[in-house]
Amino acid sequence: MKQPPLITPREVDVPRAQRHTLPNGASLYAIPSDDFEVLRFTFVFRAGSSMQHAPFAASATANMLSEGSRDMTARQIAERLDFHGSYFEVNVDRDYVYISFSSLSKFFGPTLEVAEQILLQPLFPEDELRAYCEKRKQTLTIERRKVDTVVREIFAEALFGDKHPYGISYPEKDYDTLTRADLESLYRRLYTAENCLVVCSGRIGEEELQGIGALAEKLPRADRSATADFPAPRSEAYRFVERPDAVQSSLRVGRLLFTRTHPDFVGMQVVATVLGGYFGSRLMQNLRGEHGYTYGVGAAMVNFEREGYLGIAAQVGAEVTAPALREIYNEIERLRREPMPEEELSLVKNIMTGEVMRILDGPFGIADVTIENLLCGTNNGVIEENIRRIQAITPAEVQRLAVKYLRREDLITAVVGAVDPFTKL
């Protein structure tokens, strides 16, 4: 059997979202596709954890929206969605809350009715809130027994500082003091028209577009624009938390860099992929293939609204923590010292391009990318531009970026494990 030729797309035709500005200031974007009899509409509010005035208020508000409304109980909301095979999902990050409703096209009307109850008429019942807080408190207590959870938190603190909205972590006991008034205050302040964009995709006809637009138009206008206090990040070079009984150590290595709008962001995505962005990456070959220190290691550029960073993550045997860190530093230095082979870089380019194509396979994937681009102040035209930049990058450019941004003295390291590895480095 003859293998088909490898074709790397040089052009990607991604549909642009059709923008509609509503009378109350909300923005509605539509990406119609008639290929499937499904649709999804997502309300994005700038209401993530960096915007909250009380610990855990942002995630609690978003997750409590469906726990009872003016006209429906939490059970009725869940049963109505289940009856029509519709799907409701909430995601919360540092900057934004994403509230998505998916349904078959023929059940759009009933789904929209439930969406209105969730988005516009939440009650945040006291008994449901207390049950939610107790459950989340217990879950967080269990999660913080894991080295991977703790290292994620202390790495954020090391990058940004423990007072920065992106770096702060709250104790579990703060769930005990979270009140219904905290949720109502955040909801009134942040779930507003000016603080929202809506993206709908799939089989979106004129009727569906008007229905979603009518719902978005009911969002209240804000008295003033939402703001948050963002001090300058205060980074620490090294953080270690001892867990004497830990069989494995969890590691994070990286540094603060820049957001997705920076001209070097795409180039640093290539650098991150070379280091740990796919199964055959340099760090995987070294730490797993050659030394057997770990089952997996990854590297990526992480983008927030106001900051961005490079992060490398791995879990390794407790007894090989120091050697594993040493090899991570060595691979970074090798990338700075030696131009990478053209064949290796070509493989990385094709993997990255293929990943873009995979994400764009289907209307909901296109909608996710559209949301990300809109939040970065761009449109879907940037996708083709980024693919061109990936395909055009050279070994010399990869080395230049590594030399510029990955000096050993600029790297931040966080470790949770049985033994402090820096005593052996």
Tell me the domains of the chain and their CATH numbers. 18-218 (3.30.830.10), 238-417 (3.30.830.10)
Give the mean model confidence (pLDDT) for residues 147-161: 97
Q: Which residue(s) pair with 69 in the sheet?
A: 122
Q: Which residue(s) pair with 102 in the sheet?
A: 40, 87
Range from 23-37, 82-96, 176-190, 403-417 carrying the lowest mean pLDDT = 23-37
At 225 the pLDDT is 67
More confident residue, 349 or 226: 349
pLDDT tens digits for 377-417?
Answer: 999 989 999 999 999 999 999 999 999 999 999 999 999 99
For residue 14, name the pLDDT band (cuts at 50, 70, 90).
confident
**SS3 of 380, please?**
coil
Give the mean model confidence (pLDDT) for residues 213-225: 88
SS3 helix, strand, coil % of the chain, rounded to 5? Answer: 45, 20, 35
**SS3 of 384, please?**
helix
At 12 the pLDDT is 72
Residue written as tokens 């006809």? Answer: 205
At 224 the pLDDT is 67
At 36 the pLDDT is 85
At 3 the pLDDT is 62
Q: Which residue(s) pair with 30 in the sheet?
A: 18, 200
Quote the CA–CA distance of 150 and 414 in Å, as a whole number: 10
pLDDT higher than threshold 90 for residue 4:
no
Quote the CA–CA distance of 400 and 256 in Å, as a whole number: 18
Estimate to the nearest angstrom the gap between the alpha carbon of 203 and the chain centroid: 26
pLDDT tens digits for 314-329?
Answer: 999 999 999 999 999 9
What the block records as the tokens of 266 is 């795409």
Quote the CA–CA distance of 49 and 369 in Å, as a whole number: 22
pLDDT tens digits for 178-190?
Answer: 999 999 999 999 9
Quote the CA–CA distance of 391 and 141 in Å, as a whole number: 45
CB atoms within 10 A of CB 225: 9
Cα angle 269, 162, 185; round to 5: 100
At 80 the pLDDT is 96
Beta strand pairing call for 308-317 and 297-303: antiparallel
pLDDT tens digits for 165-211?
Answer: 999 999 999 999 999 999 999 999 999 999 999 999 999 999 999 99
Burial classification of residue 309, based on how many CB atoms lie within 10 Å of its CB (0-12 exposed, 13-18 middle, 19 or more buried): buried
Quote the CA–CA distance of 338 and 99 in Å, as a whole number: 46
Nearest to 395 by CA among 343, 333, 352: 343
pLDDT higher than threshold 90 for residue 288:
yes
**What's 184's DSSP letter?**
H
